[in-house]
Structure 1
Amino acid sequence: MPSNDVRTLLQTAVPTLAVGAIATVVSGVVAGGKGAIGAVVGTLVVVLFMGVGLVVLQRTAKSLPQLFQAMGLMLYTAQLLLLFIFLALLKDTTLFDFKAFAFTLLAATVVWVAAQARAYMKAKILYVEPTSDKGAKSEKTGQST
C-alpha cells in the first residue's frame, strides 16, 4: 500500500477509534456491560466496512481510473446493503445493547466520513502525472516562417 493510502487510512481510522472508545465508556456507564459490548461491535463494524471499502476504492483508482466513480457508487451501495443485512440479523440479539450499537455505528460513520473528507482535502495528491523532460528536445509549436 503506498504511503498516501496508509496515511489516509490512519487519518480516518484513528479518530473513528477514538470516538468508538468514548462511545464504549458512555455506553458502559449508561447501559452497563452489554452497552459497552454493543459500542465496541459498532465501532469494529464501521472500521472494517469503511476500511475495506477505502482500500478497494484506492486500488481501483490506481489500476482502473476510468471506473473510479462507478466503483465508488457501487461500493457504497454494497456497503449499505451489507450493513442493512447485518442490522437485520442482529436486530433481536441479546449479546449486546442494540441501541448502544446503533448510536455508536452512526457516530463512528459520521466521524469516518468527516475524517476521510479532511484527509483528502489535506493530501497533496497529484492528479496529473508529471512527465520527465530529460533528453526530450523542446518542440516548437505554431507556424515557423
Structure 2
Amino acid sequence: MQANDARMPVQCAVPTAAVGVVAIAVGFALAGGKGAIGSAVGVLLTLLVMGGGLLGLQRTARQFPQLFQAMGLLLYMTQFLFVAVFLMVFKGTTLFSPKAFAFSLLAATLTWIAAQARAWMKAKVFYVDPRPVDAEKPAPSGSPS
C-alpha cells in the first residue's frame, strides 16, 4: 500500500464533512428540523457512496492493477445507480426536506470531487518506475569470449 492510499479517503472526507456541517446549519435555518435531517442524509449518502467507491477502487488497484480502468468505469455507474435507487425509494418522503437533501448532496459531492482532485495533484505518485541502482553500473565492454 502506498502512503497516499491511506491518506486519500481522509483528505476527501474531512472537507466534505466540513461542508456537511455548514449544509446542516443552512438546512436548519431555512427549513427547520426537516431541513437539517435532509442535509444530514445528503451528506451521509455522499460520504458513504464516494468513500466506499474510493476504498473499493484502491483495493482493486492494489490486487488487480490490470482491471483498474474498467473498475473505475463500473464504480461510477454503480455509484450513480445506488443514488438513483435511493432517490426512487425516498421519492415522496416526508421524513426530511427534499430540497435541503438535494442541495446538500450536490454540495457534498462537488466538495468530495474537488478534494479528491486536489489530493491526487498533491500526491507524489511515480508514473514510471525509478531506475534500480544496478542499472547505473556500466555494462562490460568487448566480446564475451
TM-score (norm 1): 0.89
Which residue in 1 is equivalent to 2:43? 43
Structure 2 counterpart of 1:139, one-letter code: A
Which residue in 2 is equivalent to 1:92? 92
What pairs with 1:105-120 in structure 2 (closer than 5 Å)?
105-120=105-120
Work out the CA distance in 2 between the residues paired with 1:138 and 1:64.
35
Deviations along 1:4-61, whole A, 9 cap, x unmatched? 2221111100010011100000000000001001101110000010000000101111
Which residue in 2 is equivalent to 1:28? 28
Work out the CA distance in 2 between the residues paired with 1:114 and 1:140.
52
What pairs with 1:58-69 in structure 2 (closer than 5 Å)?
58-69=58-69
Work out the CA distance in 2 between the residues paired with 1:129 and 1:63.
18
The reply on whether 1:102 has 2:83 as its aligned counterpart is no
Work out the CA distance in 2 between the residues paired with 1:26 and 1:140.
72
Kindly tell me: are residues 32 and 10 of structure 1, through their superposed partners in 2, closer, same or farther at Cα, counting changes over 3 Å? Answer: same
Question: Number of matched residues?
Answer: 143
Structure 1 portions without partners, runs of 5+: none
Structure 2 portions without partners, runs of 5+: none
Work out the CA distance in 1 between the residues paired with 2:14 and 2:5.
14
Deviation of the 1:133 alpha carbon: 3.2
Deviation of the 1:109 alpha carbon: 0.3
Which residue in 2 is equivalent to 1:56? 56
Deviation of the 1:140 alpha carbon: 5.2
- Cα RMSD, aligned residues only: 2.1
Deviations along 1:45-94, whole A, 9 cap, x unmatched? 00010000000101111111111111000110011011101011111111
Work out the CA distance in 1 between the residues paired with 2:15 and 2:76.
21
Work out the CA distance in 2 between the residues paired with 1:79 and 1:10.
19
